[in-house]
Amino acid sequence: MSYFKWYKISDFFQDTLHVGKKYDDYPSCLSKNGYFWRVDCNTYQTISAPVESKLVERKSTFLAFALPVASEDEVDRLLRRFRKDYYDARHVCYAYRLGCNADERSKSSDNGEPSGTAGRPMLGCLLSHNLTDVLVVAVRYFGGIKLGVPGLIAAYKTATEEVIQKATVITRAIEHRVTLTFGYERMNDVMQLLKRFNIKILENLADTSCRLVVSIPHEHFGTLTQQLVKVASVQSTHVQP
């Protein structure tokens, strides 16, 4: 799983009804606490597996790595591992992107290099290749010759570009992990809606009421949830599986 973000679907419909409009009037928006966020796509691009490469520039060695990641916690764990494994390196610089559209987050670090010479060009490579849920790391062993600001920018950009070129880029669908809670008398209504949209059921839990966890493709999210809130309590988590 990838990035999770909780919000109540009912909040969205309260907001839209308040201004006299329906979800269909906002086909590319989501809402939380009265704010509308534009959503630009139903898919995103990431890499399938970790890759690495090596660049030598004027005696400095740059070890570059690109890794698929699912959360900021995973990023932190991987960065701790790199700092431990390459404790003798002069710099361990990085950049990452997580999520997409309204949920996108990114960060970069120069790790002691002059400001803007390492992390920023590395992040620029992720942006130019339209990759997300990816961490890139560049480990530099200083070779005794200073590269200067332009040289550092070029070296970190080249190292990142080369490692990305080695990766297999894959396209994945943006989906929403949705929890439905409803009374047994609504079972038939809910199941008919899920069947109509060919929705996959991930978990089926029953106690005093019914509880289903389902995965809804982003392209059907607005239309289906607008109908589901009429028959069930709906709670959603944004997911990039």
Give the pLDDT confidence of 5-52 residue by residue, as tens digits. 333 344 333 333 333 333 333 333 333 333 333 334 678 899 999 999
pLDDT for 102: 60
CB-CB contact of 69 with 78 (8 Å): yes
**Domains of the chain, CATH where assigned:** 6-42+174-239 (3.30.70.240), 46-171 (3.30.230.30)
CA-wise closest residue to 155 among 51, 33, 55, 6: 55
CB-CB contact of 93 with 137 (8 Å): yes
- 193-197 long-range contacts (CB < 8 A, ≥24 apart) are 193/224, 193/227, 193/228, 193/231, 197/223, 197/224
Average pLDDT over residues 125-141: 95
User: What's the whole-model pTM score?
Assistant: 0.68
pLDDT for 123: 96
Mean of the per-residue pLDDT values of the chain = 80
Instruction: Flag whether pLDDT at 213 surpasses 50.
Output: yes
